[in-house]
Amino acid sequence: MHIAEGILSAPVLMAGAAAGAAGVGIGLHRLDDRSLVKVAVLSSAFFVASLIKVPLGPVSVHLILNGLTGLLLGWAVFPAVAVALLLQALLFGFGGLTTLGVNTVIMGLPGLASYYLFHRIAARSQGPVAFMAGFMAGAFAIALGGLLLAATLMSTGEAFWNIAGVALGAHVPIMLVEGCVTGSAVVFLNKVRPGTLCANVAPPILEAQPGAEPAA
């Protein structure tokens, strides 16, 4: 889903930069110290997963994990994605600095949408229901990201309409893979670490409270 430099028009780049900066700003404002490690881990996972690309015609596809990242972080998905994309652009030349805002929106906004649509049921469920909630979150994030990618390319000019269609179709199998990965992760986290899916809220720690009587 990385859009390289030199493709998009200036108005699209400026709009993407403004939207991306707004998302990152809100995400940082809502981020608390307890979630910093979670953000760092998920940003690293996003960084590694999206480096493994599979060429498919004029485009390439890769895992993104923005649905899972959104479920776990909420608004903090924006800074997590932005940092990973910035490092990819600087270290490997993927995407670019001028398209950083657009790419952040294309991958971060679907993660945030998945959070609002699916995180409650994913956090409160177990077994097949939790898997299905995670599957829907992962698949939906890829579908929405593909639509945003196609719309962004189409807004630049008719020359990119065919490529936009190919890019959208190429992400259909990724939807299934991301859905399975996210669903499995949700089931695992709910089993071994309940509370992790509550974005920006640290898992409960069992400790004695002031004035509380010790357990028998």
Q: Are 109 and 18 in contact (CB under 8 A)?
A: no
How many residues in the chain?
Answer: 216
Is residue 204 in a domain?
A: no
Q: Which residue type sits at 47? A: F
Is residue 214 in a domain?
A: no
Is residue 172 in a domain?
A: yes
Grade residue 199 by pLDDT with cuts at 50, 70 and 90. very low
Q: Which residue type sits at 171? A: H
Is residue 163 in a domain?
A: yes
Helices (H), the chain: 10-30, 36-49, 66-73, 77-92, 100-124, 127-156, 161-170, 172-192
Is residue 213 in a domain?
A: no
Q: What is the pLDDT of residues 95-154, one digit of tens each?
A: 889 999 999 999 999 999 999 999 999 988 888 999 999 999 999 999 998 889 888 888
Q: Are 8 and 106 in contact (CB under 8 A)?
A: no
Alpha carbon distance, N-terminus to C-terminus of the chain: 56
What's the domain count of the chain? 1
Is residue 85 in a domain?
A: yes
pLDDT at 159: 65
The mean per-residue pLDDT over the stretch 6-15 comes to: 88
Is residue 199 in a domain?
A: no
Is residue 68 in a domain?
A: yes
Burial code (b: 16+ CB inside 10 Å, e: under 16) for 82-116 equals bbbbbebbeeeebbbebbbbbbbbbbbbbbbbbbe
Range of the domain at 27: 10-192
Closest CA to 110 of 56, 66, 59: 66
Provide the whole-model pTM.
Answer: 0.81
Residue 89 belongs to domain with CATH number: 1.10.1760.20
